[in-house]
Chain A
């Protein structure tokens, strides 16, 4: 699974805001130039990003394996017609290029995930989106990071407990109902304790955030992002 790991790669030292902008710029240019030539150029860019963030392409692909049926299925279904039953390979080209484009976008976004700690992401969110909406989004996102492992463990133990009592023999609707009822109760119990704890600890709209600064290292990636974002406009 792709997750944050501390390190000293080039991507670790970039400002999270530059990395977020770059991902969006990369996606924009990938959607604008989904041609063989465009995708070859973007493959080179994605390869440089993978090296600069030292992420494994194989691991990235494994983390999105649940999408493979869609990525492979779309070109297949586009090339088939039922009445009359025909296989037209030419119709599969565009969906196949699109599938490849998706893989490239995932590699670039994995570089962010691997190299950016949640503290920095939270600071980036709150400094980009002003006022209370930004503060709400920032604190909410860091709480999701905090509670996800806890809830995941609890959900899996609810499922095991259900199976141990032969709950897995019940009809699907009843299984889902019992499981989700227990899961929602647990979540709300956590939420009640959390909100009490937050109130007693002076939960504020303006907490002190880690400092974020753009450095010289950010200049190339910011310039490249601007070029990417303007390409579709300038060249049309």
Chain B
């Protein structure tokens, strides 16, 4: 053990609560890697919940802690937590995978969604936010995820942007509308507000 002689520097209660929420949200994102829903349109492309997790992180934790939760998710996966698609792990996902753009876009998208919904870095009651702002924030988040994701795919796989978009985005985008609708339902539901 490395000996430390400086006195204990306690973490404040509010920050402790935020760290716990961010870490649990990151673990939830990891858990989403194990659950997928059958796709009614294309059998081979299951619907996963990762992007829904990004939406909810930005809305429920706010721009700062939502982005922190996404960074924790990426960092834990990089050092070996089995949190990436199908329970995979490794720094390779962040520095060499064709999906690296999608992964790196998560903290940015969560921060942008949080900034739009909370109108700044201070958290306000997200259940009271109007529907157009919620939907607009999530549409902006989706755009960021697919833009950075497509660019990342094109660079890593040495294909054109158009080809990257065809192969990595087209089959998935229709379901983002479904996830935005689900997110609105989750946010407006009393079940979470009561928790």
**Complex: A189 Cα to B26 Cα, angstroms:** 14
In this assembly, does B89 line the interface, its C-beta being within 8 Å of a C-beta of chain A? Answer: yes
**A134-184 CB contacts (< 8 Å) to partner B:** 136-137, 139-141, 143-145, 147-148, 150-152, 154-156, 159, 172-173, 175-177, 179-184
User: What residues of chain B lie closer than 8 Å to A31, measured between beta carbons?
Assistant: 96
User: What residues of chain B lie closer than 8 Å to A176, measured between beta carbons?
Assistant: 37, 47, 49, 52, 178-179, 182
**Contact call B80/A113, Cβ cutoff below 8 A:** yes
**Contact call A177/B182, Cβ cutoff below 8 A:** yes
**Contact call A77/B2, Cβ cutoff below 8 A:** no
**Complex: A3 Cα to B89 Cα, angstroms:** 8
**Contact call A185/B192, Cβ cutoff below 8 A:** yes
- Give 3 closest A-B pairs by Cβ, nearest first: A105-B96, A109-B92, A109-B90
Residues of A within 8 A of B (CB): 1-4, 20, 23-24, 27, 30-31, 34, 63-67, 69-71, 73-74, 77-78, 94-95, 97-99, 101-102, 105-106, 108-110, 112-113, 116, 118, 121, 124-125, 136-137, 139-141, 143-145, 147-148, 150-152, 154-156, 159, 172-173, 175-177, 179-185, 187-192, 194-195, 198-199, 202-206, 208-211
Residues of B within 8 A of A (CB): 1-4, 6, 8-11, 13, 16-17, 19-28, 30-32, 34-35, 37, 40, 44, 47, 49, 52, 56, 60, 68, 71-73, 75-76, 79-83, 85-93, 95-99, 153, 156-160, 163, 166-168, 178-179, 181-182, 185-186, 189, 191-192, 195
